[in-house]
Amino acid sequence: MVDDRNTLKKMAGEKAVEYIESGMVVGLGFGSTVIHSFRLIGELIRRGELEGIQAIPTADLIADEARRAGIPLTSLEEHPRIDVTIDGADEVDPELNLIKGGGGALLREKIVAQATTLNIIVVDEQKFSPVLGTNYDLPIEIVPFGWRPLEEYLRSIGAEPQLRTKADGKSFVTDSGNFILDCHFGTIDDPYALSAELKSRAGIVEHGLFLDLASEVIIAAGDGIRSLKRN
C-alpha cells in the first residue's frame, strides 16, 4: 500500500514512459504527474537508452521543463503527426473521457491530442470520477473580446462561470492570448451534447471536454498501478 500522493504520481508518470521508443515524436502534456515522465525521458536520453526523440510541448512552461530535462523539441509544423503523447487530466470518467484545462493549456493540449496516434493519460486515483463534473469545473477558453456576453450565455445553459484570475487579481491569459472561464455545471450527464452546444457559440475557442481522445489511462492507486484502455 502506497499512501504518499507524490509517490503515486511518480509511479504513474514513469509507467507511461514504457510506451516511448527511440526515434519517436512525443507530445508533452501538462500536469504535476506528467513532470515525472519528462524527468525519466530526459534521464533515458542522457543514458543513451532513448535516441532520436523529438518532443512537442503543449505550453511554454512545459517547453521550459523539457529543455531542463534535456529533451529535444520540435513543432507540429515539422512533424504534423505525433506517435505518443503523455498528458494529465483533471478528471476521468469510466468511459475514459476527460476534463482538462486546469493548467490553462487546453487548446494546445487538444490540438496535440488530435494529432496523436496513442494518447496516454496519467493520473492518481483522486482524479477518477463516476461522471465528469463531479469534482471539477469545466474550463472554457474564450477570446477576450466580448467575454461578458459569453459569460451570460454560459449562465443561460446552466453554468456558473468564473473568470480565471492570477494571484495578483489580473485575468489569467493563456499562451494563445485568451481568457478562461471556469464553469460549474455540476455533473455533466451528456458531455457530447454539451460539447456540441459550446462549439456552436462564436467566441468560445475551445472547451476542456476531451471526448474519445484518451487511448489509455494509467491510474496510480494505493494498491499499485492499474491501466484502463479504450475498447
The one catalytic residue in 91, 109, 141, 151 is: 109
Interval 159-196: pLDDT, tens:
999 999 999 999 999 999 999 999 999 999 999 999 99
pLDDT at 197 over 70: yes
The upper half-sphere exposure of residue 45, i.e. CA atoms within 13 Å in the direction of its Cβ, equals 22
pLDDT score at 220: 85
d(C-alpha 189, C-alpha 169), whole Å:
33
Count H helices, E strands: the chain?
6, 13
pLDDT classification of 32: cutoffs 50, 70, 90: confident
Q: What is the pLDDT averaged over residues 100-104?
A: 95
pLDDT at 155 over 90: yes
pLDDT classification of 2: cutoffs 50, 70, 90: low
Domain annotation for the chain: domains and CATH numbers: 5-129+211-222 (3.40.50.1360), 138-206 (3.30.70.260)
CB 84 within 8 A of CB 118: yes
User: What is the chain's length?
Assistant: 231
d(C-alpha 11, C-alpha 225), whole Å:
7
Q: Which residue has the cell 460549474?
A: 184
pLDDT at 37 over 90: yes
Quick check: is 109 catalytic? Answer: yes
- Percent of the chain, pLDDT > 90? 86
d(C-alpha 47, C-alpha 96), whole Å:
34
Question: What radius of gyration, in Å, describes the C-alpha atoms of the chain?
Answer: 18
Closest by CA position to 102, among listed 132, 134, 139: 139
Q: Tell me the pairing of strands 82-87 and 116-124.
A: parallel
**Burial track 179-214 (b if 16+ CB lie within 10 A, e otherwise):** bbbbbebeebeebeebbebbeeeeebbbbbbbeebb
Q: For residue 27, give the C-alpha cell.
A: 507530445
CB 182 within 8 A of CB 161: yes
pLDDT at 151 over 60: yes
Q: Is the pTM of this model over 0.85?
A: yes
Q: What's the mean pLDDT when you consider all of the chain?
A: 94
